[in-house]
Structure 1
Amino acid sequence: MNIVVLVKQVPDTATERKLTSDDKTLDRAASDGVINELDEYAIEEGLLLKEKHGGEVTILTMGPEQATDSIRKALSMGADKAVHVSDEALHGSDALQTAYALAQALGTIEFDLVVLGSESTDARTGVVGAALAEYLGLPQLTLADKVDVDGQSIKVQRLTDYGYDVVEAELPAVVSVVEKINEPRYPSFKLIMQAKKKPVEKLTIADAEIDAARVGLANAATETVDVAAAPPRAAGTIVKDESDGGVKVAEFLAEKKFV
């Protein structure tokens, strides 16, 4: 079973994230890059499926040169190889353009299943999985918190507000996962050393037959018009209990329409 896991490098949420002043795109130099948290669950699910059904796991990343660090982390978790799509022409691509470029890159890889996190911590659009499936003409199974593969059939529990739905499709397919699906493993020292020798194929937009007119900031369907720093958090309200503390708290909550 050939599984491709999509991995995005994002700014560390523990550090301050910024946009550049010139084109209002993500300032990647302003903070450390890490694997998007939900993509770690996607990697783990890919590895679990490989352990159960055999085959191999390929990491697919679109991003600048520094995304190599996240690729190596994914390989050290146990993935077999990686494909890195990197080209200056991709700078500023929005979610739809990203899905298109990834679909083109997937045309260079043999796969039965594509797995990715349901959203990224930097953009939080949550649409790449669905758009990717549309570009590929494949079934999409989103928000999965359980995945079962039986031959050429795949079944997932799709997380909903009221519980879950059971969704089935034929392979190949695209699956996006949520954090409840598993617990990502920590790379062992042995796997970290092995990851250094695993193959990473570099692709330009020409290699992946990506149309330059369909990607990049100048061709994006969305635009960031203006940005501003969030205002500093105001001091909280302190209630002194003088035998009427409960009443004061209730009145404060009612004023803020919490009760």
Structure 2
Amino acid sequence: MDDSTPTLPVWAEGLHGKVALVTGAGKGLGRACALALSAAGAKVIGVARSSEDLAVLRSDASNEVVTWAMDVNTPDILEKIESLEQLDVLVNNAGTNQPQSFLDVTDDALDTMLTLNVRTAFVVAQRSARVMARRGSGSIIHMSSQMGHVGSPRRTVYCMTKHGIEGLTKAMAVELGPLGIRVNSVAPTFIDTPLTRPFFADESFREFVMDMIPLKRLGTLEEVAAAVVYLASPASAIVNGTSLKVDGGWTAH
């Protein structure tokens, strides 16, 4: 009698035995991605500044989650990443936005977004790729935005940074593909979270957003996390250098 374990189809293999690093894991999209990757069987390393948020993440996760209470803008995290023996997945999620009209963008807002959304994303991906290259495999997932594909009022700097991330995704995919490392992005539309709900109290803003989304609803955290799990998993083994738009059709206009 054959006692061998049956071979699972590629879409059902999950992420057992994989190590996934998620930045900005304390709240919102990062937290949702960390929980989803944990549920899929990965050993998750969650990074955030708030120890309290990370404690809640650990208690809510399906499996054990290792947490680093660190600021991704500091050199310490880069050294910690490079010291890892194994890293299979990076969800490069930490980012920020400060909506301002173009004529009124402050130097502080410009510098803050360029630093976190572009420079920090770059160096975190670089250090992670060095670890992956030693093992000859890996999946890097940049958290982009629909604003990485289109323009929008009061978001010139944010659009600039996310367009930069989309360019980085393509260039990394070309260069790192021969090393066995896939690089993709996920580009969400507006997501229904406690932080975004106050924006929709403005009826004109809500009308603008609903007019742009053919599905006539916001996305959910779980829908974005599902896209991340797909790109992290063997189910997307040939997907490289693309942007998975989770936008309800916004960018189809």
Larger RCO: Structure 1 or Structure 2 (Cα < 8 Å, ≥ 6 residues apart)?
Answer: 1
More helix by share: 2
Q: Common fold, TM-score beyond 0.5?
A: no
Question: TM-score by structure 2 length?
Answer: 0.37
> Could you say which structure has the higher strand fraction?
1
